[in-house]
Homo-oligomer: A and B are copies of this chain.
Amino acid sequence: MTKKWTPASAADGVEQVLKILEGKWKLVILFHLFGGQVKRFSELEKAIPAITQKMLIQQLRQMEADGIVTRTIYHQVPPKVEYRLTDWGQELCPALDALLKWAENQK
């Protein structure tokens, strides 16, 4: 069972964890890595045209540090780096899916 539901405890406990999702592009990136998708850096760049390289890396690195994405480096020329969700990251799916439904429901 989850702990007893009180607004205060919910707000307090969640507040920190939600920081993981903070950042202009985090959720957008997440949607592109859903369902076990594996994407190269350049693929993410193309998929999100409005983002700059700096922002893309920055957000990816933070997500990596927070343990929701994995970075796989292939030492070859030219370089190849793949990103995918960690198990912990995958567990976000239900939540993001619910958000997606909500978003679609608006139109």
Contacts and interface: CB of A to CB of B under 8 A. Distances in A.
Interface size bucket, A side?
20 to 34
Contacts of A11: 28, 31-32, 47-48
Nearest to A92: B102
A17 B2 CA distance: 29
A102 B15 contact: no
A76 to B, nearest CB: 26
Given A7-B34, A10-B31, A28-B15, A98 B95 contact: yes
Contacts of A55: none
Interface string A78-107: 000000000010011011011111111110
A89 B91 CA distance: 24
Given A10-B31, A11-B47, 19 more contacts: A2-B104, A7-B34, A7-B37, A7-B47, A10-B34, A11-B28, A11-B31, A13-B103, A13-B104, A14-B27, A14-B100, A17-B103, A91-B102, A91-B105, A94-B102, A95-B99, A95-B101, A95-B102, A97-B98
